[in-house]
Chains A and B, each alone.
Chain A
């Protein structure tokens, strides 16, 4: 018994929307970053759903690449956050809205 495509897409849409809401309404840069992870995961759920429902595993490979991409993105992103925190003692996105100061 497999889960219906529509149910999986609804789950994916809900997770993506939660990610967008978190990204827009929060100003802690760490939580904004976690929201991006949530959106990537929502995309993965949709990919896995389509993989099973089309009977081809190509979409699963793409989901695997998305995970590798997320790992790379987190490494660089957290590096940027650490550097900004070292220089400015803040994780508030509104405090670092200037490109140069």
Chain B
């Protein structure tokens, strides 16, 4: 039952830090709470036997993406006046109603879910480990992988074109 306990602990940590992240006024504090959320999700991945993904989650999300956010926020050097408040009350109300509708839809979708868990004896021993993921990545998914490499290159060039120094 230790797995269940850790699941509830880290799920609660993730959800609470996500809530805190979207309600803070200062984007830096939001980003730090989001790092906490990503770390909690990494533990959830370990509990679901996605070991390689858990490592990638920490390295890519917490390590790269959110650090990039923090770099950009610091580079923009926001003054307190332009940090930005919430939207006005009307839009906030509409947003919360929409959110409630979405939550309701999720509830009806998830309510009847039966766990069809494959027993641990059927699942291969190296399920979710780097070797198994890499093998799949370079056999069945080799074309998507190459496309993803091109996409990342395009993203780098795009970011440089957009945010690079103005040419004289």
Q: List the interface of chain A (C-beta within 8 A of B).
A: 1-11, 13-22, 24-28, 30-31, 33-35, 37-38, 41, 44-45, 48-49, 51-55, 57-58, 60-61, 63-65, 67-76, 78-83, 85, 89-92, 94
B13 CB to nearest A CB, Å: 11
B113 touches A6 (CB 8 A): yes
Query: With A30-B69, A34-B34 known to touch, is A11 a contact of B22 (CB < 8 Å)?
Result: no
Give the A-binding residues of B (Cβ under 8 A): 1-4, 7, 11, 14-15, 18-19, 21-22, 24, 27, 30-31, 34, 37-38, 41, 44-45, 47-50, 52-53, 56-57, 60-61, 64-66, 68-69, 72-73, 75-76, 78, 82-87, 91-92, 94-96, 98-99, 102-103, 106-107, 109-110, 113-118, 120, 122-123, 127-128, 132-133, 136-137, 140-141, 144, 148, 151-152, 154-156, 158-163
Point out the residues of chain A lying under 8 angstroms from B152, CB to CB: 68, 71-72
B47 touches A2 (CB 8 A): yes
Contact in complex: B122, A27 (CB < 8 Å): no
List 12 other contacts, CB 8 Å, given A17-B106, A92-B84. Answer: A2-B117, A5-B115, A6-B110, A15-B37, A25-B22, A26-B87, A41-B37, A54-B116, A57-B127, A58-B140, A69-B151, A72-B155
At the interface, is chain A mostly helix, strand, loop or mixed? helix
Inter-subunit contact B144/A65 (CB<8 Å): yes
Residues of B within 8 A of A13 (CB): 103, 106-107, 109-110
Q: Are B113 and A52 in contact (CB under 8 A)?
A: no
The answer to whether B65 touches A74 (Cβ under 8 A) is yes
Checking A3, A19, A76 against B159 with a beta-carbon cut-off of 8 angstroms, the contacting residue is A76
A31 and B68 in contact, given A13-B103, A52-B50, A92-B84 (Cβ under 8 angstroms): no
**A41-B38 contact, Cβ under 8 Å, with A26-B86, A34-B31, A57-B136:** yes
**Which of A1, A6, A51, A65 touches B3 (beta carbons < 8 Å)?**
A1
What are 19 residue pairs bridging A and B, where the CB atoms are less than 8 Å apart in the complex?
A1-B4, A2-B120, A7-B7, A8-B44, A11-B14, A18-B19, A18-B22, A24-B98, A25-B86, A26-B84, A30-B73, A48-B50, A57-B127, A61-B144, A63-B53, A65-B148, A68-B151, A79-B163, A81-B76
